[in-house]
Structure 1
């Protein structure tokens, strides 16, 4: 599916008040700028949300795909705590094919955010060229990369996909562990 179609699909089903309440509980704070749920657990609870590029008060927010599921956040945090980001950065440096796929993930993220900004009337010039998670040259935040994989689907972000595979015993979008 093209990024424009993903955005259109998301905006056809905007976040409901119930979605906002659940994400508020997940995050422990109100989810500013949340426009839609980008990925859901099999039980229907949000896993990752789509956030507008320009928050209230004209605050720039480049992290369009935002991981909210406490179970997913915890599982990804374990990977980061184990120091695996260094290995992912080494992978980018050593494997030209994965590095190129990562650049394409960055481009997809920018295209997705641009399509979202156009549809919402947001000005994204203040974050032009900036995606999330360290893309396109390094791995900085696995949470953002996993969120992109969940929102945009498998095959878009090679690092996000690998992390999802790595954590499948602790978190999977196909197994409910929400406990809400």
Structure 2
């Protein structure tokens, strides 16, 4: 998949993402990754929300099973292990810095927001802060772009190749008021 532009976002996608999040989806500009069943897994969110708030997390992991798997890894302190890996492995550090730059380029292709210039997500480029953000980036960009996101996905109990989506019941849901 070509990173920005993304697949158009359908009303059904917004209903699924809203069900995944348990709240109305906000300012989704694209579906960056999908489950094998077609449900959104990662959305791209506008760098500036419609209320004017700067929003640096361009790739937002929404799939509830993937999110739970990343939460489990965070609770197991994997972020400390991966931060130590960055400190001792110059090759991984260089790949992570490149992933940071690519993330910024992707986001800035949608909009440049001065308040978040140079800020990507997940602790990039120098530390590991949020595996959800890094896994979302890895899923959106594809394997080999974000080494820490790739490692987290490899260690997780969730796989993008196996559908474990709940029944979102989107055909029974009304479109959310805020998309």
TM-score, normalising length: structure 2? 0.91
2:109 aligned with 1:115 = yes
Aligned counterparts of 2:62 and 2:166: Cα–Cα separation in 1: 14
Q: C-alpha deviations, 1:110-161, integer Å up to 9, x for none?
A: 01011121xxxxx411110000000000000000000000111111100000
Report what 2:21 is aligned to: 27
The structure with the largest helix share of the pair is: 1
Aligned counterparts of 1:125 and 1:70: Cα–Cα separation in 2: 31
Count of matched residue positions in the alignment of Structure 1 and Structure 2: 167
Of 58, 76, 88, which residue of structure 1 is paired with 2:52?
58
Aligned counterparts of 1:62 and 1:89: Cα–Cα separation in 2: 21
Aligned counterparts of 2:151 and 2:160: Cα–Cα separation in 1: 14
Report what 2:4 is aligned to: 7
Counterparts of 1:1-180 in structure 2, within 5 Å, are 5-8=2-5, 10=6, 13-117=7-111, 123-167=112-156, 170-180=157-167
Quote the RMSD (CA, aligned, Å). 1.0
Report what 2:174 is aligned to: none
Aligned counterparts of 1:54 and 1:33: Cα–Cα separation in 2: 8
Q: CA deviation at 1:58?
A: 1.1
Q: Secondary structure at the match of 1:30?
A: coil
Aligned counterparts of 1:105 and 1:31: Cα–Cα separation in 2: 26
Aligned counterparts of 2:13 and 2:47: Cα–Cα separation in 1: 19
Runs (5+) with no aligned partner, structure 2:
168-179
Q: Secondary structure at the match of 1:54?
A: coil
Aligned counterparts of 1:136 and 1:160: Cα–Cα separation in 2: 12
Report what 1:120 is aligned to: none
